[in-house]
Structure formats: C-alpha cells, structure tokens
C-alpha cells in the first residue's frame, strides 16, 4: 500500500527544470495543466511548443490504476507483452463485480463466491507481475486512489472513465482503455493528443445547501456531454481554494460527463490538510517545497482569457443546488426551477429511491452532511418516504463513519448500507420489480443517469444531485419538494422544515480502519502461476488479431446504422454482462444490442443482407464473420461516450467489423478503436450520414496510401445499383497507422517494435 515516496521525490526533482524549459520554449506563463504535462514528457518528446488539440505527444505516467471489470482484459493483454514486472507502480481494485441487493455483508459474501475465479485470476496475475491488489470490499477504485496514491503534480492513467477523480489532489489523471494501460505497464510511452484548455474561475464561497457537486452539475449544463471533448478543465480562483480536496475530487470525477480528457485543481491548504489527514504528511511536506509549481502561474489566473481556449466563471456565493436529468447528466435544473420542470414534463413526481455514495460522492464530508439531515429526520419525527441506500467509498471511510455513528443514524431513518463498491451506479443493482419496466423516478449522487444504466428499466427516470439534496428528497418522497423553502408534515401532523446540512471535511478523531483490504505482490513473481481455467465461461486467454491485408477494404456489409445517442453502454452493456469481462467471445454476445437501428427504430434487430432476414446484432455479425465478410458500423454524434470500457472496441474487432464510421467520436472510444487495429472514421460532411442505406455494400478506398491528415473515400453501393462516394476523415498519426497495419498496438509490443 506504499505510496512510492521515492518516485514522488523524483517527479518533484525534475519539476523546476522542466517547467522553466517549457516556459522558455512557449514564451509565456503556464497553466497548471501545462506544467504537469510538460514535466511528464517522454524522452522523445523534446519540443514544448505543442499545438493544442492537434499534436500527438508521448508522455510517461507515474502510475496505473485498474478496476476489476476492465483489469481482466488489460492484464490478459499484458500477459502477452513478454514483461516480467510492471514498469510503473500499478494497482487493481475489486469494485465493479459486487451486486447490490440486500445489504453490504450478504452482498459481499455472495459476490466473493460468485466471482471467485475472477478474483483468483486478478490476485494471482497481480502477485506475479508486481501489482498491488485491493480485495473485494476494500472500496471503489477512485476513492481508494484519492486516499492512498493521488499526489499533486503527478500523472496517472486508469482503466475507468472516472479516473480524473484524482484531479481533486492536483493530479493529471486520465481514463483510458486497457491497451493503453498495457503499454504503460510494459514501460512504453503513452500517447495523447495535446489537449485544449478550459478554465473555470470560481469566485465567492458556498454556503447552506450548496455542495461541490453543484459546481459540476452547473458546468455540465453549460458545456453539455461533449463540450469538454479534447480538453482539460482547470479550476482556479478563490472559490476553488475554499473547496475541500474530496469536494474537488467530486467535480473532477464528473468531468467525464462533459467529455473532458481530465479535470484538475491546484495544490493548496485544503490539499495539504487531506494528505496529512490520510497519513501522507511527508508528501504534503514535499509538495509545500515546490508549491509554486503545483498551481498555474499568477499571470495566467489574472488574465485567463489569454491562456485558456475557453473560460467559464461561476460565483459560488450565488450558486444554487442543482438536479440534473433525466436520462442525461447535462440537463441541469436549479432547485428553484426543478419542481416546475417535473410537472411540465410529466416526470413521475413520486420518488421511489434515493441513493448516495459511489465514486463521485462517498467521502467522509459527503456522508457526514447527509447524516446531519438523516439525524434531523429522526429528531423531527419525519419518516423517509422513499427507499434510501448508502454506498461508502472505501473500507476506511465506512469504518470511520460507522465509528462516528453516522451509519447508525442512517439506519434509524430506514437507510440500507451497501457494500463498498460501485453497485447501482454501474447497473450492479438487483432492484426488485425493475423487470416490470414501470415508469418511476429515482435520484442519486452518482455521475451517470443514462436510460437503463442503474436498474435495466428504460422507464426509470434517474436524476443526479448532491448527497444532501438526494437525502432531503428521499425524506420527502417527492421530486417537487424544495428543501430550501418547503416544509414537511411529520408523524404528529406538524409542519417542519429541514435545516441546512452540516458536516466535516475530515474526521476530528482521524481516519481509522482495521483491514483496508490491500494485498502486496510477491517480491519475486517468477514462480507464481496465473490462475485461468481453460473451461471457464468468464476468462479466456487472448489470441492476436490478424494484421491488415495491405489492400483497400471492399465488399463490406452495413451491420447497423445507429441512430442518436450510442454510448459504451449501448455498445457493450454492463449489469449482468460484467461477468464476461474477461471472456472476449462470450461478452461479444452483447455487441451493440442497445443501439437503435436507424431503419426500424428498434434495438438489437438488424437486417442480414445474406438472408434478407432480421436478427440480433451479434448473431448477424457472427454469420458475416463465418462467411468471411467484413462489416461497417455507422453512428451519430459523440459515438462511444461514457465509460472507458475497451470491450466496446474489442468486440466488433473480434467479430469482424472492419470500420466504425460516425459523425464524431468520444475521445477514449476513438483511441480504443485505434489500439485494437480498427478503423475509426468520421464523415467529412456529417449530412452524408443520411446517404447510408440499409442494404449498402461499402468500399473503403485509400488505405494503400494511408497517411496522417489524408482523408479516405467511402463508396456506398446501393441496392438499386446507384453509388455515392463520400469523403471521410481520420485522426491517425503515423504510429497509430502502424497499429492498424499490424492488427493492433499489442501486436507491435509483442514483436518488440
């Protein structure tokens, strides 16, 4: 569980020289983001004058963090890389496979039995290759990382889209696919398009019902789910310095919902207090020694419009609590306008369940503030009208809030404590009655609320708010209740009003834990055997993808033309499919089953051009593969938004899809496609999406001279004998083109290239 103090010393030692060189090269003051990026350049990346949003740059991250659902495929790939040990400190966290059903103890016991072979594999492969292993029940990856590994000025990649949570402690932390993690663990540089910069200036200071969560809910409303794509969001100002480190983590965590590469806050007194409070005073002391380098230059923040590509200003003193949703995290409603929105849109006003916790809002501060409202409910003789669940972020947080009486308070209000795991936030929720698909409303302090995400019911209207607002609305059982202004009738028929929530950023008696759940790897893993049953339905050793044939791709069939939002949940669903995350063949049976077919407005029903019949997407694709025919998937805007799961790229690659052609990509998904040797293409003219017809046979022309910045051509052969030739763009650089030619990035690693 050591936080690699010598590595941190080395990072800080190079900061002054690297930053001075970068400042000289660009001829101007630097943002915090630029300081950290420039200080982590790979040896071959000598120039600091990178063009934002265009230049691909090689970096050397300090850490890798993996959650159990994505770690399976990442480590199966790493096993093929021919390395004896990971090259950088790395950890695996078992948080995604624990299903919430009745309560923490029973759910965790059931998960350990149900997922034993996966946990045994992850523990053994971690033990062999020098990877720290956090056992099931230890906590959610991002909270555990914030408590143990995140440090100001560091750079980390993680196989989860909410890795940016560590930005709350001033770390550049970026969500990636498992192939990227494999590269870094193998000691190779990690490539990223140099991001654009969005500055968010926070003034004033929050009070009352407003929480850090409301900052990102407001920002999501401004930027939308794709407004941060290709950019790092850097928060600064007096308001930023007033927020707790975990509050900052909440904001950075949910930056994934605006498509941001990552988000970050500078190092300050709150950062130091959190480091000291979590047993890392020595890191705080080191950071204090270079504090000027762990924030943007004064000139940048004095005149941000000159240094950021976009600037947003929010006055925390005036910020209202927000509720976002339903069905998308960027539909933002100030609490004063939310009740009217519920009525005008006909959303179910009765609140069925309130859920707090998750990686976004599971800190001591979050739980203590929510508990203050639960205590009010008890004291004021109010009975919670909705079901109410609590998900602690880590065993350390759970143990501490239990010691301090908060869990007992929730119990008196009728709350149920779930395991220290992702649970309902990622669809791991055995919600009773969800199969009836009744129209209903829930509210969470989670980050995502796409249709069917939490419980599989497309009619569940999921809303996102702070833990405080979630708790208040759960007590009321009514979405139209405004706790800032409205009263409730208690058991004695009296009208009572909830007081403003109160809480503590850090426990006054310090954090405590009996068993944090950490397992250190063997010092010498050469004799350790990795446990994989050859007959397993859940784990499957990988075989290399075939190399490119060296010719243009002709005679491809259209598999599906996806209409509207197509997230990684639509491409490769979670929930019950999580059990197959280590078995590529089996999980490929969920490929694109959630995507809406533009030709019939149905899901999982596409035309098989060979038979003329309609069938399920995976079965249709398997038939094409059996017949040796490649296919193309066509999609809409921001294709692949959502989680970092590379299965959404590996499944179509495995089943024989040759190209994904869309109006625009979400960043992580586009990179994942490239890593797996897939063609990720965009319409030069988005209106050409409409030219794609159901029975089209497709040629991709220009691959024999495939080069950076050079468009390709797609020829659509229609069933009536006519054709359309359209131009398509790509963002492949020369290195990525070599991945495509080799069949995947991993193929090059194995070849020693």
Query: Phi and psi at residue 193, in whole multiples of 5°?
Result: -70, 125
* Number of neighbours of residue 23 by Cβ within 10 angstroms: 17
What pLDDT, on the 0 to 100 scale, is given for residue 284? 98
Cα gap 186→11, rounded to integer Å: 20
- The rounded Cα 314 to chain-centroid distance in angstroms is 24
What pLDDT, on the 0 to 100 scale, is given for residue 2? 57
CB 441 within 8 A of CB 157: no
Q: Which residue has the tokens 């909270």?
A: 143
What pLDDT, on the 0 to 100 scale, is given for residue 749? 85
Same CATH topology for 322-496 and 553-751?
Answer: no
Kindly report the three-state secondary structure assignment for every residue of 33-70: HHHHHHHCECCCCCCCCCCCCCCEEEECCCEEEEEHHH
DSSP reduced 3-state for 485: coil
CA proximity to 447, closest of 315, 270, 259: 259
* Class for the domain spanning 553-751: alpha beta
Query: What residues contact 165, with CB distance under 8 A and at least 6 apart?
Result: 142, 143, 145, 146, 173, 249, 250, 252, 253, 359, 360
Average pLDDT by consecutive 10-residue portion of the chain (753 residues)? Answer: 82 95 93 97 79 90 96 93 93 96 96 96 97 98 98 97 97 92 92 95 97 98 93 98 98 96 98 98 97 98 98 98 96 98 98 96 97 97 96 97 98 95 94 94 96 94 98 98 98 97 98 97 95 92 94 98 95 88 96 98 98 98 98 97 86 98 93 95 98 98 97 98 98 94 91 72
Q: Which of 96, 280, 579, 730 is catalytic?
A: 96
What pLDDT, on the 0 to 100 scale, is given for residue 255? 96
What sign has the CA pseudo-torsion 168, 173, 177, 181?
negative
Identify the burial level of 258 via C-beta atoms within 10 angstroms of its C-beta, where 0-12 means exposed, 13-18 middle and 19 or more buried. Answer: buried
What pLDDT, on the 0 to 100 scale, is given for residue 82? 84
Alpha helices in 491-616 (DSSP H): 568-571, 584-587
CB 450 within 8 A of CB 642: yes
CB 167 within 8 A of CB 248: yes
Mark whether 95 is an active-site residue.
yes
Mark whether 317 is an active-site residue.
no
Cα gap 329→69, rounded to integer Å: 23
Mark whether 160 is an active-site residue.
yes
Question: Residue 190 corresponds to which tokens in the numbers above?
Answer: 């990690």
Mark whether 448 is an active-site residue.
yes
Cα gap 42→194, rounded to integer Å: 13
Instruction: For residue 15, say if its preceding peptide bond is cis, omega within 30 degrees of 0.
Output: no
Cα gap 491→498, rounded to integer Å: 15
Q: Which residue has the tokens 């908060």?
A: 406
CB 416 within 8 A of CB 100: no
CB 231 within 8 A of CB 309: yes
CB 73 within 8 A of CB 396: no
CB 67 within 8 A of CB 96: yes
Cα gap 612→528, rounded to integer Å: 52
Query: What residues contact 23, with CB distance under 8 A and at least 6 apart?
Result: 29, 30, 297
Q: Which residue has the tokens 């750079």?
A: 155
What pLDDT, on the 0 to 100 scale, is given for residue 147? 97
In eight-state DSSP terms, residue 353 is E
Question: Residue 660 corresponds to which tokens in the numbers above?
Answer: 């994904």
Q: Kindly state the helix (H) or strand (E) to which residue 75 belongs, with its residue range.
A: helix 68-78
CB 614 within 8 A of CB 607: yes
What pLDDT, on the 0 to 100 scale, is given for residue 643? 77
Q: Which of 241, 461, 645, 669 is catalytic?
A: 645
What pLDDT, on the 0 to 100 scale, is given for residue 46? 67
Ranges of each domain in the chain: 5-315, 322-496, 553-751
Cα gap 186→10, rounded to integer Å: 20
- The rounded Cα 358 to chain-centroid distance in angstroms is 12
Question: Looking at the domain 5-315, which fold is it?
Answer: Aconitase; domain 3 (3.30.499)
CA proximity to 244, closest of 427, 129, 140, 367: 367
Cα gap 719→722, rounded to integer Å: 7
322-496: CATH homologous superfamily?
Aconitase, domain 3 (3.30.499.10)
Query: What residues contact 336, with CB distance under 8 A and at least 6 apart?
Result: 320, 482, 484
Query: What residues contact 433, with CB distance under 8 A and at least 6 apart?
Result: none
Query: What residues contact 661, with CB distance under 8 A and at least 6 apart?
Result: 632, 633, 634, 635, 681, 682, 683, 692, 714, 728
Taking each continuous run of H as one helix and of E as one strand, the counts in the chain are 25, 30
Cα gap 683→634, rounded to integer Å: 10
Q: Which of 263, 368, 386, 643 is catalytic?
A: 643
Q: Which of 18, 40, 293, 448 is catalytic?
A: 448
Alpha helices in 303-363 (DSSP H): 335-345
CB 645 within 8 A of CB 158: no
What value, to the nearest 5°, has the Cα angle with vertex 134 and ends 675 and 443?
A: 80
Cα gap 375→380, rounded to integer Å: 8
Q: Which of 39, 62, 63, 95 is catalytic?
A: 95
CB 496 within 8 A of CB 490: yes
* Number of neighbours of residue 520 by Cβ within 10 angstroms: 13
Query: What residues contact 13, with CB distance under 8 A and at least 6 apart?
Result: none
What pLDDT, on the 0 to 100 scale, is given for residue 753? 59
DSSP letters along 236-293, please?
A: ESHHHHTS-HHHHHHHHHGGGGGTBSEEEE---HHHHHHHHHTT-HHHHHHHHHTGGG
Q: Which of 160, 180, 404, 636 is catalytic?
A: 160
């Amino acid at each position: 569980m050591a936080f690699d103090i010598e590595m941190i010393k080395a990072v800080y030692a190079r900061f002054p020289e690297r930053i001075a060189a970068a400042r000289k090269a660009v001829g101007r003051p630097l943002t915090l983001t630029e300081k950290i990026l420039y200080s982590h350049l790979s040896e071959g990346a000598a120039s600091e004058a990178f063009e934002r949003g265009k230049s691909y740059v090689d970096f050397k991250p300090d850490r890798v963090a993996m959650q159990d659902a994505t770690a399976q495929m990442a480590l199966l790939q790493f096993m093929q890389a021919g390395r004896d040990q990971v090259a950088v400190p790395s950890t695996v966290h078992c948080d995604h496979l624990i299903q919430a059903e009745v309560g923490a103890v029973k759910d965790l016991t059931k998960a350990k039995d149900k997922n034993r072979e996966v946990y045994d594999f992850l523990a053994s492969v971690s033990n062999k290759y020098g990877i720290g292993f956090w056992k099931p029940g230890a906590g959610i990856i991002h909270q555990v990382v914030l408590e143990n590994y995140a440090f100001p000025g560091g750079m980390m990649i993680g196989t989860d889209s909410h890795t940016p949570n560590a930005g709350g402690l001033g770390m550049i932390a970026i969500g990636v696919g498992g192939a990227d993690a494999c590269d870094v663990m193998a000691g190779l540089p990690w490539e990223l398009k140099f991001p654009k910069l969005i500055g968010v200036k926070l003034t004033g200071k929050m009070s009352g019902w407003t929480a850090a969560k409301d900052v990102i809910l407001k920002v999501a409303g401004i930027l939308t789910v794709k407004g941060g794509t290709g950019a790092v969001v850097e928060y600064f100002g007096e308001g930023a310095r007033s927020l707790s480190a975990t509050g900052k983590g909440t904001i950075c965590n949910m930056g994934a919902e605006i498509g941001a590469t990552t988000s970050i806050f500078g190092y300050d007194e709150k950062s130091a207090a959190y480091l000291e409070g979590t047993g890392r005073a020595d890191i705080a002391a080191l950071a204090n020694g270079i504090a000027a380098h762990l924030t943007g230059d004064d000139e940048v923040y004095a005149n941000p419009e000159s240094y950021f590509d976009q600037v947003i200003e929010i006055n925390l003193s005036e910020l209202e609590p927000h509720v976002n949703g339903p069905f998308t995290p960027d539909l933002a409603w100030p609490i004063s306008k939310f009740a009217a929105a519920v009525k005008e849109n006909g959303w179910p006003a009765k609140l069925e369940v309130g859920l707090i916790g998750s990686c976004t809002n599971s800190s001591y501060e979050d739980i203590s503030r929510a508990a203050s409202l639960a205590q009010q409910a008890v004291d004021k003789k109010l009975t919670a009208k909705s079901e109410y669940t609590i998900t602690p972020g880590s065993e350390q947080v759970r143990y501490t809030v239990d010691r301090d009486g908060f869990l007992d308070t929730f119990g008196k209000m009728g709350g149920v404590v779930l395991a220290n795991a992702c649970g309902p936030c990622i669809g791991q929720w055995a919600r009773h009655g969800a199969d009836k698909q009744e129209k209903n409303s829930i509210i969470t302090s989670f980050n995502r609320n796409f249709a069917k995400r939490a419980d599989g019911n497309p009619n569940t209207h999921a809303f996102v708010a702070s833990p405080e607002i979630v708790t208040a609305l759960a007590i009321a059982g009514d979405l139209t209740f405004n706790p800032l202004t409205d009263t409730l009738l208690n058991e004695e028929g009296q009208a009572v009003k909830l007081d403003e929530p109160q809480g503590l950023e850090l426990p006054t008696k310090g954090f405590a834990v009996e068993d944090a759940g950490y397992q250190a790897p063997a010092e010498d893993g050469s004799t350790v055997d990795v446990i994989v049953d050859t007959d397993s339905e859940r784990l499957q050793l990988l075989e290399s993808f075939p190399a490119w044939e060296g010719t243009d791709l002709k005679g491809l069939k259209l598999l599906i033309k996806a209409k509207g939002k197509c997230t990684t949940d639509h491409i490769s669903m979670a929930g019950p499919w999580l059990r197959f995350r280590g078995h590529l063949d089996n999980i490929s049976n969920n490929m694109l089953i959630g995507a809406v077919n533009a030709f019939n407005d149905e899901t999982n029903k596409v035309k098989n051009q060979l038979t003329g019949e309609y069938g399920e997407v995976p079965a249709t694709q398997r038939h094409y593969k059996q017949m040796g025919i490649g296919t193309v998937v066509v999609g809409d805007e921001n294709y692949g938004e959502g989680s970092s799961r590379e299965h959404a790229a590996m499944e179509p690659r495995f089943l024989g899809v040759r190209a994904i052609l869309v109006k625009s990509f979400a960043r992580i998904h586009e990179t994942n496609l490239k890593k797996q040797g897939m063609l990720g293409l965009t319409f030069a003219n988005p209106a050409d999406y409409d030219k794609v017809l159901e029975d089209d046979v497709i040629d991709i022309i220009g691959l024999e001279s495939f080069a950076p910045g050079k468009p390709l051509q797609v020829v659509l052969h229609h069933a009536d004998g006519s054709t359309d030739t359209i131009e398509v763009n790509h963002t492949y650089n020369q290195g990525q083109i070599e991945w495509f030619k080799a069949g995947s990035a991993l193929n090059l690693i194995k070849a020693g290239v």
